[in-house]
Amino acid sequence: MKTLRLAALIMAVLPTASFADTLIVANKYEGTVSFIDLDSGAEVARRATGPSPHELALSPDQTLAVVVSYLEDGYIGRELNVFDVASTELIRTIDIEPHLAPHGISWIGDSNSVIVTTEETRDVIRVDVELGTVEGVAVTDQIGSHLLALSPDASRAYVTSRGSDTVSVIDTAEMTTLETIEANKGPEAVFVSPDGKEVWVGNNQSENIIIFDAQSMDRIETIEMGFVPIRVRFNPAGDRVAIADLHGNRVLIYDAADRSEAAVVDLNEFDIERPPSLLFSPDGAHLYVGSELSEKVVEIETSDWTVTRLLEAGAGADGLEISSVKAKPNDVN
């Protein structure tokens, strides 16, 4: 195991070339979404969303970003906000009532639809983004159905329910709940390996990760972490897994095959607090980490796991997506 020291502070602010054009960040504490040009590292636009925008999903052509309005004191979300990436403009709001508190969201393959957990109503919905209608509902009947991850072919969604300590498997075509199984205490993080064979589930209160067989949902292994593994994310190659330590302000990198710790990126050196989100670039060259309390997104070079840039975002930088579409706001020269 190797604890990596970060590069000199200046390395975090120098712009570096990147493979894609726009990083989109949901700023959950201020009700906005940031559009960041990855070539320059500059935030080119920040737009208002509905309250509590925790997560977002990109359309297959990467031209649209769908942002949830979740839940906060005095507010229960009931809408999805659709943004045009190129113009950064809000182009429509989709009313999903009677389904409430949308949170986890993914685009279903090359369809027109997203799948969304709706926590307060204990269900998962499929929404046609073009028509703006709810086209399917799968009832979990579990408390706190919070996050989901899709299988590589998008035929199944794996949904973690924090209050019931369970994982539910959803058929995304039929929108039926195939099974619900026990996890450990407080399951939240969930991700499917790129080969579709494993489902990794992080349990906040148990402070461990359970690895399930994606087909049988039998337990393969449990990794004791000793901290809250708030997010788990495979790199595109499938050989490394990033795990966010929410309170320790670290990202741990694990070997996906032998489950050993390969590296640790200490974010405390840059005063980065509470990393709630992880996103690998499509080519796997960078890992992006949101920061709830620091109003920044951390860019990490995956060749040596060093921090290369701190990108300015809004309060509560959480959900992340990368689009190859360049954001060119209409109100910016």
d(C-alpha 291, C-alpha 179), whole Å = 34
For 266-292, b/e burial (b = at least 16 CB within 10 A) is bbeebebebbbbbbbbeebebbbbbbb
**Pick from 134, 128, 89, 12: which is nearest to 332 by CA?**
89
pLDDT score of 4 more than 50:
no
What residues does 57 pair with on adjacent strands? 66
Residue 332 inside a domain? The answer is no
pLDDT score at 252 = 98
pLDDT score at 150 = 98
pLDDT score at 331 = 73
pLDDT score at 330 = 80
Residue 121 inside a domain? The answer is yes
- Residue 211 belongs to a domain with what CATH number? 2.130.10.10
Name the percent of the chain in helix, strand, coil, to the closest 5. 5, 55, 45
pLDDT score of 5 more than 80:
no
pLDDT 10s digits, 256-299: 999 999 999 999 999 999 999 999 999 999 999 999 999 999 99
Calculate mean pLDDT across residues 202-209. Answer: 98
Query: Residue 30's domain spans which residues?
Result: 3-323
3-state secondary structure at position 9: helix
Give me the chain's average pLDDT, please.
Answer: 94
Residue 167 inside a domain? The answer is yes
d(C-alpha 322, C-alpha 281), whole Å = 7
Calculate mean pLDDT across residues 97-106. Answer: 98
What percentage of the chain reaches a pLDDT higher than 70?
A: 93
pLDDT score of 217 more than 90:
yes
Side-chain-facing half-sphere of 264: CA atoms under 13 Å? 13
Residue 219 inside a domain? The answer is yes
pLDDT 10s digits, 170-192: 999 999 999 999 999 999 999 99
Calculate mean pLDDT across residues 241-248. Answer: 98
* 20 confidence band (pLDDT: 50, 70, 90): low
pLDDT score of 162 more than 60:
yes
d(C-alpha 198, C-alpha 246), whole Å = 23
What pTM did the predictor assign?
0.93
pLDDT 10s digits, 29-69: 999 999 999 999 999 999 999 999 999 999 999 999 999 99
Residue 329 inside a domain? The answer is no
Give 5's DSSP letter: P
Structure-token pair, residue 250:
């670290």
Phi and psi angles of residue 75, each rounded to the nearest 5 degrees, phi first? -145, 135
d(C-alpha 120, C-alpha 146), whole Å = 10
* 109 confidence band (pLDDT: 50, 70, 90): very high
Residue 58 inside a domain? The answer is yes
Q: How many domains does the chain have?
A: 1
Residue 282 inside a domain? The answer is yes
pLDDT score at 332 = 61
Residue 102 inside a domain? The answer is yes
